[in-house]
């Protein structure tokens, strides 16, 4: 089968990935939509149908489209008239080419095979992720270690695995007691050959530190138009904030790196909690054949296959739950100390998320995950060691989160003795999505507790009326079923922050329930 993805001649270029999906944690949602169409021919009508499904599932969004009030035909019309891109990857100009933005990274990482007018294929690795045999970080770690720069999707001369290269750099720096600064990371994206020792010698000699401008000027001198095989380097904004940030976020999602911000300098190192897993993956010595570098289907087949044994091996490196349970208060305390976080500062940081102001210290954490992180810190600051404060997100060895909690557990568990307090956090504002995604599951998580006293705080930027009514009815349901010691309340973020600052979360939920009981007695008196 001939190569369908059309590009110019191969050149040495910056390591880059598609920038349309800024948050790589969205890829599993996108993938789940694609999987429903496995085996179908990706023609114009199918592209339109999948595009529509991406919107209705909220895997992708547009501030120009109100999905709640739009019919399927309205959404399709919006796609056809409002979304367009120049012909690319063999897809014609229009919504068809715009659709490729959601295919590129998943194709390059071997999760999918989706070519114009060809049948859709989903890899075994992708299916293992969707079937929850692999966690998100595990699946992305595996595929990043398999990823090859020279491929049918990127017509570059850089012929090596970028992620293996940069992780080996981090390992070697770690052994020497050093980390990689963010400007140095950006420089790594321009490696022609993935030579670890040569790159370390380079960063040791030029002393970039945290100077983005100096790094960019060095790149222009060394890599831009120096010969016919090196094209003009992109603008600094594209090099750093577009391509650089996107690759960094994908790398972070693997859980294989640790990130810390020291006096404004972002430092990257190997995540010690996942070092054994990293060494296992590197030891597998994944390669891509020369034929696969020129053919999309061969490439997909080679890097997307997985065996039950490989899944079992990956699962064996998961962190034991007991590690998180016993250590997380200390981890939160360390984060607070390392970053000099006060109550006033964390409140401002929470407000910056909901107001869309830029929060600089933890810019590299995606907003929904960042909110869970900040709320956990606020609770710990107010309640200290009265409780075990256990966020269920995945965090690196510095306590910085890189992946949401698995879907079968709540966001934050706060426990002490006979008391369990569950905090569910979301940034979803859409009324339908909030009601459908953030209600029944939260109650299920609460009822999984065997504690004598159980509390649930649901926290969102705005609590939609239907959502508020659901939680109110849940309180009534608990009363009817003699769940005397269950307390539930939905809060907007500002109210929850206020209640937490006043250290009255549980009394407030008790009072809310008492008011409902009083109202019921009056109604039926």
Give pLDDT tens digits for 6-47: 667 899 999 999 998 878 888 999 999 999 999 999 999 999
- Please give the helix or strand (H or E) that residue 456 lies within, else none: strand 453-460
Q: Which CATH number fits domain 321-524: 3.20.20.140, 3.40.50.740, 3.40.50.200, 3.40.91.50?
A: 3.40.91.50
> What is the residue extent of each domain of the chain?
24-315, 321-524
In percent, how much of the chain has pLDDT > 70?
A: 96
SS3 11: strand
pLDDT grade for 320, boundaries at 50, 70 and 90: low
Q: What is the mean pLDDT of residues 158-178?
A: 97
Give pLDDT tens digits for 471-509: 888 888 887 776 778 899 999 999 999 999 999 999 999
HSE-CB at 123 with a 13 A cutoff on CA atoms is 28
Give yes or no for residue 325 having a pLDDT over 60.
no
Q: What is the mean pLDDT of residues 141-162?
A: 95
CA distance 234 to 23: 22
Written as six digits, the tokens of 310 are 């490989």
Give the chain's mean pLDDT: 90
Q: How many residues does the chain have?
A: 525
Give yes or no for residue 323 having a pLDDT over 50.
no
- pTM for this entry: 0.90
Give pLDDT tens digits for 450-466: 788 999 999 999 998 98
Give yes or no for residue 5 having a pLDDT over 70.
no
- Please give the helix or strand (H or E) that residue 327 lies within, else none: helix 321-338
Q: Please choose, from the candidates 421, 424, 452, the residue with its C-alpha nearest in 3D space to the C-alpha of residue 440.
A: 424
Give yes or no for residue 4 having a pLDDT over 60.
yes
Pairing of strands 394-395, 401-403: antiparallel
The pLDDT, as a whole number, for residue 322 is: 45
Give pLDDT tens digits for 64-81: 988 888 999 999 999 999
The pLDDT, as a whole number, for residue 474 is: 87
CA distance 123 to 129: 10
CA distance 141 to 133: 14
In percent, how much of the chain has pLDDT > 90?
A: 67
Please, where are the H alpha helices in 122-161? 124-130, 136-146
Other beta carbons within 10 Å of 279: 13
Give pLDDT tens digits for 399-451: 999 988 776 788 999 998 889 999 999 888 777 777 777 677 788 878 777 78
Please name the residue that has the structure tokens 């599993």.
Answer: 28
Q: Please choose, from the candidates 220, 246, 250, the residue with its C-alpha nearest in 3D space to the C-alpha of residue 234.
A: 220
Output 69 or 196, whichever has higher pLDDT: 196
Structural contact between residues 153 and 186, judged by C-beta atoms closer than 8 angstroms: no
Give pLDDT tens digits for 359-399: 778 988 888 899 999 999 999 999 988 899 999 898 998 99
Q: Please choose, from the candidates 262, 280, 276, 272, the residue with its C-alpha nearest in 3D space to the C-alpha of residue 395.
A: 272
What's 240's DSSP letter?
A: I
- Helix (H) and strand (E) counts for the chain? 24, 12
Written as six digits, the tokens of 124 are 């075994």
Please name the residue that has the structure tokens 């006060």.
Answer: 342
The beta-carbon contacts of 304-313 under 8 Å, at least 24 apart in sequence, are 304/110, 304/111, 304/113, 304/123, 304/124, 304/125, 304/126, 304/143, 305/123, 305/124, 305/125, 306/123, 306/124, 306/125, 306/128, 306/142, 310/142, 311/128, 311/133, 311/134, 313/280
């Amino acid at each position: 089968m001939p190569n369908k993805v059309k590009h110019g001649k191969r050149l040495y270029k910056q390591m880059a990935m598609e920038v349309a999906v800024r948050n790589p944690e969205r890829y599993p949602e996108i993938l789940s939509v694609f999987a429903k169409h496995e085996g179908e021919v990706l023609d114009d009508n199918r592209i339109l149908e999948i595009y529509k499904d991406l919107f209705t599932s909220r895997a992708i969004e547009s501030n120009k489209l109100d999905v709640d009030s739009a019919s399927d035909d309205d959404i399709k019309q919006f796609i056809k008239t409002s979304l367009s891109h120049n012909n690319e990857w063999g897809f014609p100009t229009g919504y068809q080419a715009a659709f490729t933005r959601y295919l590129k990274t998943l194709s390059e990482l071997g999760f999918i095979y989706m070519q114009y007018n060809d049948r859709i294929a989903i890899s075994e690795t992708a299916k293992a992720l969707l079937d929850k045999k692999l966690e998100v970080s595990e699946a992305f770690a595996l595929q990043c270690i398999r990823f090859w720069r020279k491929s049918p999707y990127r017509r570059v001369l850089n012929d090596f695995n970028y992620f293996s290269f940069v992780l080996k750099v981090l390992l070697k720096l770690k052994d020497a007691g050093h980390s990689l600064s963010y400007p140095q990371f950006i420089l790594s994206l321009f490696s022609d050959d993935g030579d670890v020792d040569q790159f370390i010698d380079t960063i040791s000699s030029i002393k970039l530190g945290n100077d983005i401008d100096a790094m960019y000027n060095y790149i222009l001198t060394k890599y831009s138009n120096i010969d016919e095989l090196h094209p003009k380097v992109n603008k600094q904004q594209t090099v750093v904030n577009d391509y650089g940030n996107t690759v960094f976020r994908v790398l972070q999602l693997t859980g294989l790196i640790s990130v810390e911000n020291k006096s404004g300098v972002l430092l990257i190192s190997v995540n010690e909690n996942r070092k054994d897993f990293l060494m296992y993956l590197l030891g597998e010595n994944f390669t891509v054949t020369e034929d696969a570098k020129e053919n999309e289907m061969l490439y997909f087949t080679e890097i997307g296959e997985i065996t039950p044994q490989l899944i079992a091996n990956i699962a064996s490196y998961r962190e034991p739950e007991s590690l998180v349970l016993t250590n997380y208060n200390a981890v939160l305390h360390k984060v607070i100390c390392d970053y000099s976080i006060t109550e006033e500062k964390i409140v401002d940081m929470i407000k910056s998320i909901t107001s869309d102001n830029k929060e600089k210290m933890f810019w590299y954490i995606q907003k929904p995950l960042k909110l869970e992180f900040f709320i956990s810190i606020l609770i710990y600051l107010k309640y200290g060691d009265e409780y075990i404060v256990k966020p269920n997100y995945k965090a690196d060895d510095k306590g910085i989160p890189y992946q949401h909690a698995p879907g079968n557990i709540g966001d934050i568990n706060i426990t002490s003795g006979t008391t369990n307090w569950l905090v569910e956090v979301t940034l979803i504002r859409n009324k339908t999505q909030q009601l459908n995604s953030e209600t029944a599951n939260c109650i299920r998580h609460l009822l999984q507790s065997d504690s004598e006293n159980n509390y649930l705080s649901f926290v969102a930027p705005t609590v939609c009326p239907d959502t508020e009514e659901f939680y109110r009815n849940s309180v009534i349901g608990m009363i009817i079923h003699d769940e005397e010691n269950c307390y539930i309340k939905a809060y907007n973020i500002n109210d929850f922050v206020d209640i937490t600052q006043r250290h009255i979360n549980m009394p407030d939920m008790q009072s809310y329930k008492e008011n409902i009981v009083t109202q019921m007695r009056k109604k039926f008196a």
